[in-house]
Amino acid sequence: MTSTDGIEQVLKAASMRVTQPRVAVLAAVARHPHADTETIISAVHREYPKVSHQAVYDSLKLFTSLGVIRQIQPQGHIARYETRIGDNHHHVVCRQCGNLADVDCSVGESPCLHASDDHGFKIDEAEVIYWGVCPECQAKDLDG
């Protein structure tokens, strides 16, 4: 989805007007998976310096509400965004540096993916976040 044509098609499929700020924001999210808002604003401003911060915030909110992008906000961390949606993947977060990576699938027994009591909900997604220490921080711990 990194081409302008692909991004425009995504916007049209979500019944959104295709505007330069929206194309720029969605392209930035696609190029920078798991980026926070400030990183996305910086990426947009490198190509389109006149796009306002508010236009970026508004686009992220709209895209998230329409399911075009996914917002990830592990406890104690700022929100991050990604275009990888609809596959119910999970994430692993480093407790030391905050590095975040995709985890394609939970393996083994997965009671967390099957609610013991769905309270009548039709569940269509489960969010799992694994916490640990990334390889870079592990190496720093050994060195220091």
Q: Please state the residue numbers annotated as binding site for Zn(2+).
A: 94, 97, 134, 137
Binding residues for Fe cation, as ranges, are: 109
Residues belonging to the binding site are 94, 97, 109, 134, 137
DSSP letters along the chain, please?
Answer: --SHHHHHHHHHHTT----HHHHHHHHHHHHSTTEEHHHHHHHHHHH-TTS-HHHHHHHHHHHHHTTSSEEE--TTS--EEES--SS--EEEEETTT--EEEE----S--GGGS-S--TT--------EEEE--HHHHHHHHH-
